[in-house]
Every structure is written in structure tokens, then in C-alpha cells.
Structure 1
Amino acid sequence: MKPNFLIFILGPTGVGKTSISLFLAKKLKTEILSCDSRQFYQELKIGSSQPTIKELESVPHHFIGHLTIHQSYNAKCFEKDSLKKMKQLFKKYSILIMVGGSGLYEKSITEGLSDIPNIDLNIRNNLIYNFKKKGIFFLQKEIQKLSKIPTNIDRNNPRRLIRYLEIVRSTGKNPSSFFKKKNLRFFSTIKIGLTLPREEIYIRINKRVEKMIQMGFLEEVSRYYPYRHLNSLHTIGYKEIFDFLSKKKKSFHEAIEEIKKNTRKYAKKQLTWYRKDPSITWFHPKEKEKIFYFILNKVKMGNTGFEPVPPCL
């Protein structure tokens, strides 16, 4: 039986993953699956930098705008849905491309996530109530009280903090204790990392945010202001504009600068996450042909073991 390969295109936000994935999909005559959890929601077109209609029409895409902001979704759901979709697609193709910057969602595909026991809803509701009443400092303080303080959690993301605390309080165990050992998959994975010098990534991020504003991002966020409490909208870009609309920010300019700053911080965290993975081979986004022939060589060899090139950021 001919082996199947999943090509993962990884890297920080704004580095050029969409362009590379489109190039490779056309060259390899295959389809693209998104691993970007922000792009799952059909309403968040501008803020999540979803591919354009022209790009979506040029190559078949999956998991772009397949949910609404009112739907509850997580990495475990994505693992189940994407594996099912890949089994279907591998009947037609021997190579598929997955692209995105959501580390946990990538891990759900390459390694698999365990089912976490049911959470006590009273615990969850209590945490949400106190967060709304006292702010994120309450959650950060509760995290500090734990016997084993997590080092890799985003302390400024209330959704992540609540999730961590509710698991610990409901089960008495650290969330990482529920992770599976690496699963055997029905495909081999080749991981391609894209990176640039830090200054260039930051310039790209700033330009992307400015382009979002020109495309009508304020109008998009304003449309969903009544639903700002939804988990799907607790994300960079939307949070800052919601604060402006709620008059928590003095000016629109201040909100935009905050989006740029928080996006830069997020890009740095993405690189920190991916640096820990020795199976990623790193390239400059302009090295399209080099990436293409690297993949062909790996597919021909049927072997994904290789020496990684360290990232330059």
C-alpha cells in the first residue's frame, strides 16, 4: 500500500503560511486543511485573516469557516473531525497539506489528545463569575496558589486560565497528565516551519493589522459586539476593539496599537512552542522551490527522520 503523507506548514502569524500552502497544494495537486482555530468561525473573516474567496476557489480547503461563533469547539473535536476528513481525502490523494499556527491543534493531529473527565459545572460557573466580577487578576492569583504552577500557559488568556483551573479542581490532576502518549497515525508527517528575522515578522504583523482596518475590521467587530462574552470571540483583535467600543480604551488608535502589540507577543509564543519540536525543518518563506523539492525527497524516501535547521528568530 502506498504510504500517506501529511505536510504540516507551521510558523508564527503573518509569516506567509497561506502563500506557501497554496503553492504546494497546486504543485502537489492536493487539498488543504486548516489548523488555525481562529479561522474555523465563519463570522471572523477579517480578524482571523481567512484566505480570500479567490484563494479558496483556487484550491479546495477544509475547516475554514465551518463553524459559527455560537458553537462550542475544542482541540479534541478538531482531532476527531480532521482525522475523519483525512481518511476520506487519502482515498484520493497520497499527500495532504495542513496549515496553521495553533500549537495545541497541531498536537492533536500529530500526537492525539486524551479525553479529560467531565468538568463540574459549578466549578466552571464559579470561576467565570469571579472572573467577570474581579477580572483576570483573580484567575492569575488562583493559578499562583497551585502546588505545581504551569509555566507554558498564557497568563493573559482568561479562557485558558479558567480551563486549567477547572480541570485541576474537578479532577485533582494537572491537565498534562491526561495527554496520551504519541499515537500511531495512518499517515507520516513532514513538518515545514517558516520563519523570518524578528523585525521582519513584526513589520508584517503591523502591516497586516493596518490592512485589516482598511478592509472593515471595525465594522466586523461591531457587528458581533452583543456576543462579546462568547469564548470564540475572546481572541486578539476582537478583545481590543470590544474594549474600545465599551469605552475601556481611550481611542481607536490605542486599540489598534494594542492589537499590534498583542499579536507580536503571540507570534513570539508560537515560535517558543515550535522551537521545542526537533522534527520541524525551518525555511525562509521565499524558499518555495526548496521546500517543494525537500518534500518530494522525503516522500520518495518514505522517511521523515532528518536533522532540523534551527529557526533564526
Structure 2
Amino acid sequence: MKPYFIIFILGPTGVGKTSISIFLAKRLKTEILSCDSRQFYQELKIGSSRPTIKELESVPHHFIGHLTIHESYNAKCFEKDSLKKMKQLFKKYSILIMVGGSGLYEKSITEGLSDIPNIDLNIRNNLIYNFKKKEFFSSKEIQKLSKIPTNIDRNNPRRLIRYLEIVRSTGKNPSFFFKKKNLRFFLTLKIGLTLPREEIYIRINKRVEKMIQMGLLEEACRYYPYKHLNSLQTIGYKEIFDFLSKKKQSFHEAIEEIKKNTRRYAKRQLTWYRKDPSITWFHPKEKEKIFYFILNKVEMGNTGFEPVTPCL
């Protein structure tokens, strides 16, 4: 029996992952799973850069718009849900495609995440409230921050708050709960897409401008009453919420802030993925080269293949 494969299409925001994943899904006659946490929420159609209706209809997609902004969700939940969906889909296909730029969610599938005890929501909310109010942590919290592993981005408040809430809720560092990599019932192949940095930044700026034209301001205004929700603590919405709260002087300033923060996010994504030696990198225009590279790796030959019906 041929092995099951998950083909990951990875890379920074705006690089062209959606186009490549749809091309490959059509050529490989399979379906797509998203591991882009920004696209999970059904209300956030514009600011999350969700695939268009035409793109979604061209190939079956999973984990896009399957949640509401009011639902609590994390990478551990995604690990459980996506593995369940994969087992269902592998009854029809021997290969699936997963696409996205959320490194932790990709890691939840390739390696598995630790089972960290439930966090006291009061502790989480208190950390978020104090940080937003003061925009810095207390000296007591800073002492805890000094012990944070170097692989955690200290300029990322969400990562820092996550670290602190675990410490305060359990009395132990997150590393205490780490476990060995989980054995999976499938093999993985990681395809990375990249462009020169300046070209990525140009694409990001144009994408932001397009989102504004499509009605990002109106979409953000609609959900402004829920700006405190974790699902809305994301680039594109936070900056407009600041504008609506009069923390920004003008809408133009908010737009420029979205562009700047998105560029920084893309840089962090590249930093994360560059540390993974298992990723093979391609230019987004190298569609055929990527396709035949995949065929060679999964030992399917050079003429394509039909979905198989494996037994799980």
C-alpha cells in the first residue's frame, strides 16, 4: 500500500500560497486543508485574505470559515480536528494539501503539541488587560520574562502573554509539559514559497490597499463591539479598532500601520520557516517544477495519479 502524504505549502503572507495550492490540488486530484488561523472565522472575510468564492468552489477546502469569532480555539484544538478530518479524507485520497502561514498550527500537525492544562481565564484576561492598559509588563512579570527561551519572540505580546499565563496558572514553565514528537500515520513534504523581500513588501502593500477597497473598514466597524475577543486580535482589525477608538489620528495612519505590521509579520514568518531544514524552497511561478518535485518525492511517476482508496 502506498503511504499517505500531506503536502505543506508554506511561506510568508502575500507570497502566493493560495494560487499554488489550488493548482496542485487540481493536478493531484485532491483537497486542501487550511492551517491559516486568520481564516478560521466565518465573519472575517476581507481582513483575513480568505480565498475568493471562485477559488473555494474550484477545489474543496477545509478549515476556512468553520468557526465564529465568539468561539475559543487554539492550535491544540486544530490538531485534534484536522487529524480527524485527514483520516476521513485519506479514505478517498493518498495525498492531501495543507496550506497556510501559521507556523504553530503547521507544527501541531507535523510534530504534535503538548497537553498543557487548562488556563485560568481570569489570569489570561488580567494579563491582557494590564498589558493593553500600560503597554508593558510589571517588574515582577519582567523577571519571569528573563527566563523565556530564546525561540520566543519577545516583541510578540500574544506569545509573551501565553508564556506568562501558563507559568501563573500551573507554576511551571511551558517546557515542563513538552513531549516527544508524535508519530503520525502519514508522511509530510514541505514546500516553501519565497520572493525577494522587496517584492513581498510590494505585494503586501497592494493587498492591504485592495482589502480597503473591498470594504475592510466596514467589516471592522461591524465587529468593533467585539474587539476584545481573541479572534479579533489580528493585523488589519486591531489597527482600525485603534482608529475607531481615536488612538490613531487618521484612517490613512491606520492603513499605513496595517502595512507596516503585515510586513513585520511576514518577516517573522520567514524567520520561523528558515529554521526548518526540511522545507524545499521555490519561486511561486515555478508551478510545474513544484508539481514534478512532489511526484518524484511521493514516487508517483511523472504522469499524475488517480486517488486511491486506502484502508485506515
TM-score by length of 1: 0.92
Query: Could you say which residue in structure 2 is the equivalent of 1:12?
Result: 12
SS in 1 for 2:137: helix
Structure 1 residue 148: deviation in Å? 1.1
Equivalent-residue separation in structure 2 for 1:157 and 1:312 (angstroms):
43
Give CA-to-partner distance per residue, 1:255-284, whole Å, 9 cap, x none.
Answer: 000000000000000010001111000000
With over 3 angstroms needed to count, the CA separation of the structure-2 counterparts of 1:139 and 1:20, relative to structure 1, is farther
Give CA-to-partner distance per residue, 1:55-110, whole Å, 9 cap, x none.
Answer: 01000000000000000000000000000000000000001000000000000000
SS in 2 for 1:192: strand
SS in 2 for 1:115: coil
Q: Which runs of 4+ in 1 moved over 4 A?
A: 301-313
Structure 1 residue 169: deviation in Å? 1.7
SS in 2 for 1:191: strand
On the 8 A contact 2:42/2:66 being kept in 1, the answer is yes
With over 3 angstroms needed to count, the CA separation of the structure-2 counterparts of 1:129 and 1:211, relative to structure 1, is closer
On the 8 A contact 2:295/2:302 being kept in 1, the answer is no
Equivalent-residue separation in structure 2 for 1:95 and 1:75 (angstroms):
22
Structure 1 residue 175: deviation in Å? 1.7
On the 8 A contact 2:190/2:278 being kept in 1, the answer is yes
With over 3 angstroms needed to count, the CA separation of the structure-2 counterparts of 1:245 and 1:33, relative to structure 1, is same
Give CA-to-partner distance per residue, 1:186-223, whole Å, 9 cap, x none.
Answer: 11000000000000000000000000011111111110
Give CA-to-partner distance per residue, 1:4-39, whole Å, 9 cap, x none.
Answer: 000000000000000000000000000000000000
On the 8 A contact 1:3/1:302 being kept in 2, the answer is no
Structure 1 residue 226: deviation in Å? 0.4
Structure 1 residue 164: deviation in Å? 1.1
SS in 1 for 2:38: coil
Structure 1 residue 303: deviation in Å? 16
On the 8 A contact 2:112/2:181 being kept in 1, the answer is yes
With over 3 angstroms needed to count, the CA separation of the structure-2 counterparts of 1:177 and 1:64, relative to structure 1, is same
Structure 1 residue 168: deviation in Å? 1.2
Structure 1 residue 147: deviation in Å? 4.6
Q: CA RMSD in A?
A: 5.7
On the 8 A contact 1:111/1:180 being kept in 2, the answer is no
With over 3 angstroms needed to count, the CA separation of the structure-2 counterparts of 1:20 and 1:35, relative to structure 1, is same
Structure 1 residue 243: deviation in Å? 0.4
On the 8 A contact 2:8/2:98 being kept in 1, the answer is yes
- Pick which of 110-119 and 56-65 moved more: 110-119
Equivalent-residue separation in structure 2 for 1:268 and 1:62 (angstroms):
27
With over 3 angstroms needed to count, the CA separation of the structure-2 counterparts of 1:239 and 1:303, relative to structure 1, is farther
- Pick which of 247-256 and 175-184 moved more: 175-184
On the 8 A contact 1:40/1:66 being kept in 2, the answer is yes
Larger relative contact order (CA 8 Å, sep ≥ 6): 2
Report how many residues are paired.
311
Give unpaired runs (5+ residues) of structure 2. Answer: none
On the 8 A contact 2:17/2:193 being kept in 1, the answer is yes
Equivalent-residue separation in structure 2 for 1:173 and 1:151 (angstroms):
17
- Pick which of 180-189 and 47-56 moved more: 180-189
With over 3 angstroms needed to count, the CA separation of the structure-2 counterparts of 1:207 and 1:292, relative to structure 1, is same
SS in 2 for 1:250: coil
Query: Could you say which residue in structure 2 is the equivalent of 1:289?
Result: 288
Structure 1 residue 160: deviation in Å? 2.7
Structure 1 residue 141: deviation in Å? 7.6
With over 3 angstroms needed to count, the CA separation of the structure-2 counterparts of 1:245 and 1:278, relative to structure 1, is same
On the 8 A contact 2:239/2:255 being kept in 1, the answer is yes
Give unpaired runs (5+ residues) of structure 1. Answer: none
Matched, 1:247 2:249: no
With over 3 angstroms needed to count, the CA separation of the structure-2 counterparts of 1:158 and 1:302, relative to structure 1, is farther
Query: Could you say which residue in structure 2 is the equivalent of 1:306?
Result: 305
